[in-house]
Amino acid sequence: GPGHLAMMCAQAGAEHVIAVDGSAAIAEVARQAVDANGLSDKVTVLHADVESSSFQLVKKADVLVSNFAGPGLLGGGMLRALARARRDLLKPDGLVLPSRVELFVSGIEDREALAAAKAAWDVPVAGLSLAPAMMQVVRHPRVETLRRASQVATSTCSMLQLHTATLGVRTAALGFPSLPFSLTATRDERLFGLALHFDLGFGCPSGSQSRPDEEAISSSSGGDNQEEVAVFTSDPRAPPTHYQQLVLSFPRAVRIAKGDVLEGMMNLQPSGTRGSDLEISVELTFQGTTATTSYILVHGASKQTLL
C-alpha cells in the first residue's frame, strides 16, 4: 500500500520498518509519502514479491504487520503471502499483527439494493430495454457496506478462527472447505442472502509462541499464547470501514419466521494464477430442502453459478 501502516509503526517506536509492495507504482508512492512525512530514516520501501523464494531480509524481523484481510477473508490472495512471510521472514519468537482473524456469516434482507438495481435497469438505453439483465446483476457477489444494521435478520455464526502466528502456507493456499454454519431467524422476514464479515484481533505476547513449519495445517480452534488488547470488526452493525462486507445474494429470497433455523456448509477456495480470486460454494438447507449456489469473486468482476 501507500505506506500508511509502515509510517504508523515507525511513529509507534519501531527501530526500523521495511515496507514491501509488489507494485512498482505503489512502492514509489509509498517512498514519496515516507519522505513527505520525514520518516525516510525510519522506513525503507522495497518493490518486491514477498512470496518469491528469492526475497529475503538481511536480518529477520521482530514484528510482521500486514493488511491481509480481503473480501471473504481470502479475496485478494494476501493470506498466503502473510503465511509465507511469517515462515521465512520473521524471527521464531516474532509477533504477527493482526494476531487473530475470525470469519462470520449473517443472513440479511436486501430490499433496498434490489429496488435500486431494478430502478437503474428499468431505464431504457437509446430506447432499448435492458431490464432482463437486472436479475443477473443483483445476484453477483458484492463488496459493499450494508445500508442499515437492521438488514441483519438472523443470528451471526462464527465459521472460522485463525491465529496468524501458527498459520501454515499450505492452509492459506488451499483455502477452507466444509465450513458449517447455522443461522436462527431473529424476526419474520424475507432473506435475500448472506453477508460475510470478520474480526481482526491484536494481541501482545504473554509467553512463548509455538510455530509449526510450512507443512503444518493451522487449526481453526488453536491459538497462540497472547493477550488480546484490541479488536477491529467489519460487522455490518458496527461503524462502517473500508473493508465493508461480502454479500452473497440468493437466486430467490427465502421467507423465514422468527425462530426458524437455516443450516449450511460453505467452501472458500483461492483460485486464479496468483490465488487472488475466490471461489465460494454454499449449500443451504431449510425446511427439508437443500439448494447449492456457487460464486466466483474476481478482482473487478464476479459471477454466480446456479447448480
pLDDT of residue 138: 63
Q: What digits encode the pLDDT tens for the residues 245-263?
A: 999 998 888 999 999 999 9
Q: What digits encode the pLDDT tens for the residues 4-29?
A: 999 999 999 999 999 999 889 999 99
How far apart are the C-alpha atoms of 142 and 139, rounded to whole Å?
Answer: 8
- pTM confidence score: 0.85
How far apart are the C-alpha atoms of 209 and 97, rounded to whole Å?
Answer: 14
Cβ 276 vs Cβ 76: under 8 Å:
yes
Between 294 and 221, the higher pLDDT residue: 294
Q: What digits encode the pLDDT tens for the residues 46-105?
A: 999 988 888 999 899 999 999 998 888 888 888 888 999 999 999 999 999 999 999 999
How far apart are the C-alpha atoms of 284 and 264, rounded to whole Å?
Answer: 4
Q: Which residues of 91-120 are buried (b: 16+ CB within 10 A; e: fewer)?
A: eeebbbbbbbbbbbbbbbbbeebbeebeee
User: What's the grid cell of residue 7?
Assistant: 509510517
Q: Span 167-176, mean pLDDT?
A: 86
Cβ 163 vs Cβ 100: under 8 Å:
yes
pLDDT of residue 204: 75
pLDDT of residue 222: 42
Between 222 and 30, the higher pLDDT residue: 30
pLDDT band at 139 (very low <50, low <70, confident <90, very high): low
Between 272 and 98, the higher pLDDT residue: 98
Helix (H, G, I), strand (E, B) or coil at 281: strand
pLDDT of residue 16: 96
- Asked if the model's pLDDT at residue 301 lies above 60, the reply is no
Backbone torsions φ then ψ of 14, nearest 5 degrees:
-60, 140
User: What's the grid cell of residue 282?
Assistant: 454454499
Between 304 and 135, the higher pLDDT residue: 135
- Asked if the model's pLDDT at residue 219 lies above 60, the reply is no
